[in-house]
Chains A and B, each alone.
Chain A
């Protein structure tokens, strides 16, 4: 499925142009959005993720008109913001099970299966019983990917996921993204040139 953004413009009240007549087409696979701080990466990602509306322009994903049909997009979307909170005293496994319930997976067997699957993809299976609050930065980011994979998204948006990670964790994290990017459109933003070198 292809994401097509056409003539997207968003100006904030303070006059800052977050997106300026921006057009781009992105296909299946991993796509890196590289730019300095304040370039408009997060604004663009939030707009694609239907968290803010543009002043003008269109976005389509496959046959979904993203700006007019937010809910259809959200059903196939996995979004990981720059920072997110977790419940302090819950294990990764329990928290993912809870998120899976929230995402509408009512069968316990089905939840157990998908939770196991996403823990394995993100290399967190061995530490599934540990509290997420005690995870390292990189593990938390991988947990973020695990939770967004629960609803088998076709469009995955990850905002600055490698910021603050050590080189080994960055490498591990990007490999996880590459793996999930084989069947989905994965857009990730970064200000680190190294992150997009192998795309």
Chain B
């Protein structure tokens, strides 16, 4: 498989290899909705999902535990995809 964006190949790999590459680097935390902006400004947030109680599950990419409260979780192909797209975003001056 390959991940494509902006007319360029960002990653050419297999799903298995791709997830193995980031194993141990995906962290989750349940946060309050109001805390999302702060978390996004501080950490490399890949995705966030609402829970029924109005809290959010955030998935963060970091080589080490980002902070207390984060729990390491298994890497998924969605993480690989979001990491590739985030790394491709233009850097704001």
For A71, what are the chain B residues with a Cβ–Cβ distance below 8 Å? none
Q: Do the beta carbons of B6 and A40 come within 8 Å of each other? A: yes
Q: Do the beta carbons of B9 and A34 come within 8 Å of each other? A: no
A26 to chain B, nearest CB (A): 8
Q: Which residue of A lies closest to B10 (CB)?
A: A35
Q: How far is the CA of A21 from the CA of B6 in the complex (A)?
A: 11
Q: How far is the CA of A31 from the CA of B5 in the complex (A)?
A: 16
Q: Do the beta carbons of A17 and B6 come within 8 Å of each other? A: yes
Q: Is B39 an interface residue (CB 8 A)?
A: no
Q: Which residue of B lies closest to A21 (CB)?
A: B8
B contacts with A: majority SS = mixed
CB within 8 Å of A: which B1-23 residues: 1-9, 12, 14-15
Known contacts A196-B77, A197-B77; is A41 also within 8 Å of B4 by CB? yes
Q: Which residue of A lies closest to B8 (CB)?
A: A20
Q: Is A18 an interface residue (CB 8 A)?
A: yes
How many interface contacts (CB-CB < 8 Å) are there between A and B? 59
Q: Is A64 an interface residue (CB 8 A)?
A: no
Q: Do the beta carbons of B7 and A199 come within 8 Å of each other? A: no
Q: Which residue of B lies closest to A26 (CB)?
A: B2
Q: Do the beta carbons of B15 and A196 come within 8 Å of each other? A: yes
Other-chain residue from A21, A24, A43, A193 in contact with B2 (beta carbon distance below 8 A): A24
Q: Do the beta carbons of B7 and A17 come within 8 Å of each other? A: yes
Q: Which residue of A lies closest to B79 (CB)?
A: A193
Q: Is A175 an interface residue (CB 8 A)?
A: no
Q: Do the beta carbons of B7 and A40 come within 8 Å of each other? A: yes
Q: How far is the CA of A19 from the CA of B4 in the complex (A)?
A: 10
Other-chain residue from B2, B6, B8 in contact with A31 (beta carbon distance below 8 A): B2
Q: Is B62 an interface residue (CB 8 A)?
A: no
Residues of B within 8 A of A (CB): 1-9, 12, 14-15, 77-78, 81, 85
14 extra A-B contacts, CB within 8 A, seeds A40-B6, A193-B81: A17-B6, A20-B7, A22-B9, A23-B9, A24-B12, A32-B2, A33-B2, A33-B4, A34-B3, A35-B3, A35-B4, A40-B8, A193-B77, A196-B1
